[in-house]
Amino acid sequence: MSDVLGLDHPLTRACAKLDATRKQLLLVGAILAGSLAAALDGATTAPAVATAAAVVLAGFAAAAFMRAEARRDCILDLILEGREDFPVSLVQRQRLRLASPRVRNGLAATLESMVKEIAQPPRLGLRSIRPLICRSVIIEAYEDLKRVIALLRGPDATVRGVAFTERLITHGESALYGDDCAALREQLRRARLLLELG
């Protein structure tokens, strides 16, 4: 990948970090397995080593998850830049995933569930729980959301548009979860343009 993107590209760096974390996971996993085997043989310090290795393994697993997400974000950035045809297998796999009807329908269903949640009155027992989405913003952007949902379910949704919509839904700081309706409507307008034109 570095020969195509260069060593300093964010995706190259993200892949290198993830690879390093996976190697650390394997090493600590081997230490854990060895210490468990030693504990079965009666080694007195083995349980302490196994416990420490298990804790470290959990930390590396969390780091690997976060680094995998960072790598996915870098791939989405390339696709959003219009480079979905880039000859890198990771980009091509994401492109195929985003083009699949399952992913497009899943994103549409997520947006539909947000709209349905707003349409239903809150249950009495849940009033103290802060909702993830702002009711008034979703109500005001309802027509825009319906258009994005229809485009996602249509046969001609572009990969760039699907990538943008996925980021809108999955990024915790996106306008979808804010209280600024103008910002959300602008993001939904961009999603529509990308879904239609790429």
Which of 54, 73, 95 terminates a domain? The answer is 95
Same domain, 22 and 85: yes
Nearest to 66 by CA among 13, 8, 14: 14
Same domain, 50 and 121: no
- The DSSP secondary structure of 122-150, one letter per residue, reads PPGGGTTSPPSS-HHHHHHTHHHHHHHHH
Which of 95, 115, 136 terminates a domain? The answer is 95
Same domain, 10 and 45: yes
Q: Give me the pLDDT at residue 42, please.
A: 86
C-alpha gyration radius of the chain = 22
Residuewise pLDDT in 10s, the chain (198 residues): 667 777 888 888 999 999 999 999 999 999 999 999 998 888 888 899 999 999 999 999 999 999 999 999 999 999 999 888 888 889 999 999 999 999 999 999 999 988 888 777 656 555 544 457 788 888 899 999 999 999 999 988 999 999 999 999 998 888 988 889 999 999 999 999 999 986
What domain range includes position 56? 2-95
